[in-house]
Amino acid sequence: MALLLLFALFTKHLVCDVLWQPSWMLAGKGDFRSPGGYAHAGLHGLCTAVLLAGFGVAHWLWLGIFDAVVHYMVDRWKVRLG
């Protein structure tokens, strides 16, 4: 089960970062005033929460919020340092 969940989360990350990230989201990363970075991180958090809930993981909502916040900060730092 753990390996299946890991594969599902990896696939979710790939889909959210490659297939479901339009140019306006990509352009908004790294700027606190732009909605693109927030929308992209929110998409990750939402998909993570739905996926975890589907697997019956406890605290799925808080883990989805945590994923969104961490994803936003990592993307912001990647833009600023890259």
Q: Are 45 and 68 in contact (CB under 8 A)?
A: yes
Look at the pTM and tell me if it is higher than 0.85: yes
Report pLDDT for 53: 98
The pLDDT of residue 29 is above 90: no
Tally of domains within the chain: 1
Residues in the chain: 82
The pLDDT of residue 42 is above 90: yes
Nearest to 41 by CA among 52, 50, 28: 28
> What domain range includes position 51?
2-81
Mean pLDDT, rounded, for 20-34:
91
d(CA 38, CA 62): 17
| Amino acid, res. 2 | A
Report pLDDT for 22: 95
